[in-house]
């Protein structure tokens, strides 16, 4: 059991020398905490797909209506 503790202690010491842990300043951590917890000032709006689909549907409907009206006009002249 004692050897496991010694092994863990030596591993911790090696990690401390390799990783060189840093203690950040309290001011930095306080600012970071505020930035993470507060709602962002900038919001990204999502595109309005319903408007685009409605516009495409309206253009398609008007195109079909024009073709139908032209067909009716030219069909009556040929009779």
Query: Domains in the chain: how many in total?
Result: 1
Q: What predicted TM-score, i.e. pTM, was given to this entire model? A: 0.42
Given a cut of 70, whether residue 6 has pLDDT beyond it is yes
- Structural domain span for residue 23: 2-78
pLDDT at 54: 95
Reading phi first (left if > 0) and then psi (alpha if -120 to 50, else beta), residue 33 is in alpha
Q: What does the chain come to in residues? A: 79
Q: How many CA within 13 A on the CB side of residue 19?
A: 9
pLDDT bucket at 55, cuts 50 / 70 / 90: very high
How far apart, in whole angstroms, are the C-alpha atoms of residue 39 and residue 76? 66
pLDDT tens per residue across span 19-41: 877 888 999 999 999 988 988 77
């Amino acid at each position: 059991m004692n050897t496991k503790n010694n092994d863990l202690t030596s591993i911790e010491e090696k990690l401390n020398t390799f990783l060189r842990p840093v203690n950040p300043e309290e001011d930095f951590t306080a600012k970071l905490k505020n930035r993470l917890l507060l709602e962002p000032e900038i919001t990204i709006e999502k595109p309005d797909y319903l408007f685009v689909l409605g516009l495409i549907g309206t253009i398609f409907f008007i195109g079909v209506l024009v073709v139908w009206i032209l067909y009716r006009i030219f069909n009556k002249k040929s009779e």
